[in-house]
Structure 1
């Protein structure tokens, strides 16, 4: 049933608010098909127009048409899956990455630790985020989305005294935690930054490739996602998924009024025509 609903939502670029709506529908499929757009808005914590925009983003004229398609999707019989043929080199590499994702999935069976660190990060004012060298894009990704909900997110991706100054100012203005992304190869600069963070009194949440990472001993909390080294360059699919999962749980740990800022952004973004329509 979830797979058929994923097919309905797939291939569409959804805003964070719309993804929350989609997640609610995935979690409550049999209930959702009988709810109105107002009911769903109340359940998710968004406005009724956001639910309508979600339906139109999927290509429907309005919510009633979407709900009819949703009901049909739930009643549809699954199509037969084509038999897998001989895989080429890249497909085999992707298979290795899929196994890494399965490993990550299994390690997240208990969401207690993830929720705990997410609540701590969401409460930190400000929240510095470190990512150096190959880890810089993940820090930027987290920072971009987290800043839509958290009031003060500071991405630090330049090593040296500038980074140390940023950590010092964050600690002086009330920060309690710093989030560090550190994927192989682990830069010595990241270790230096973590030691400085500890010196100025910050607790450290580390996202890395394994719990035995050479940087793990310097962190208060370690979140690990396997990195695929079978390609010519490392593939960070698992780390990216973990980053997205962390964003998801950080959002869930923020007060409702802060979550509402996402809905406000989507409304103003539509008015300002920030994004191209499909």
Structure 2
């Protein structure tokens, strides 16, 4: 008895004049399961890594399983991950292999090609900061600074690894005598802070990869109560980004076993400096005692 051939949805292919892999994934993003969305999100934001990673490595970076990566590839219409990776390589070559790189950026490595692990990590962070600076919109940065300076209260939501950065941003704003609070855990005190969100509150959500439910809850509550919202995230398809009125993205590529947060730290410090620069004389005396001599 003859087997009937299984039909699969045609995968995107630039050679056929269709959209790129990244655009195709973004167009179908809402169709995917939760774990597949993690893979989709990582591919869109880390195309350069996906083009040369194994399915197992991609799964580890996206916090899922290699079988999910394979099923995701098939859901897009590919036979398996190698075909998806080939499409990613084609898009990567078109985007990044021009003589001077994307947007005229130099593609020369910071260190020699025989980098050790230490140099590779630093070189990666150098690229992260450069890419973040190129991609962040000046108007979004100015809008964020405006929102911080005009808010009666700033609430910063960030859990787990993001809790440190939420606390540091709060510290920088309090040095400028701005009222800032953090939500870093589902404690009774933190939940009461969420309960005080109103239209005069600015809610800043920090996330890396899949956002914590508490941060998503804070952003949803802020939207419901007509509070202004800012998302600082490394994922353009993050739920936190979708809920925010202002979005600042940072690059978190890393050869290590964890994401890089160097560019995130740069954004936080740059925002605080932007607030300070609005009225240097007003803030100068207040922070003088905190300056390192």
TM-score in same-fold range (> 0.5) = yes
Residue 218 of structure 1 is matched in structure 2 by 243
TM-score (norm 2): 0.56
CA distance, structure 2, for counterparts of residue 159 and residue 107 of structure 1: 33
**Deviation of 1:102 (Å):** 1.4
Partner Cα distance (2:147, 2:158) in 1: 19
Secondary structure of residue in 1 paired with 2:161: helix
CA contact (8 A) 1:142 1:247 kept: yes
Provide the rounded CA distance (Å) in 1 between the counterparts of 2:115 and 2:240.
Answer: 37
Is 1:94 the counterpart of 2:119? The answer is no
Runs of 5+ unmatched residues, structure 1: 1-82
Secondary structure, aligned partner of 2:166:
helix
Matched positions, count: 184
* TM-score, L = length of structure 1: 0.59
Residue equivalent to 2:132? 104
1:132–1:187 Cα contact (<8 Å) kept: yes
Are residue 187 (structure 1) and residue 212 (structure 2) matched?
Answer: yes
Give 1:190 deviation, angstroms.
1.5
Paired residues of 1:209 and 1:227 also in contact (CA < 8 A)? yes
What is the CA-CA distance between 1:85 and the residue it aligns to? 7.4
Pair 1:128 & 2:155 matched: yes
Give the aligned CA root-mean-square deviation in angstroms: 2.6
Q: How far apart are residue 117 of structure 1 and its match?
A: 1.7
Structure 2 unaligned residues grouped into runs of 5+: 1-110
Change (3 A) 1:264 1:248: closer
Matches within 5 A, 1:195-206: 195-206=220-231
- Return the offset for 1:210: 2.7
Tell me how far apart the structure 2 counterparts of residues 114 and 138 of structure 1 sit (CA, whole Å): 18
Aligned equivalent of 1:264, options 256, 271, 286:
286
Deviation, structure 1 residue 269: 5.4
- Displacement of 1:138 in angstroms is 0.7
Question: How big is the shift at 1:264?
Answer: 3.4
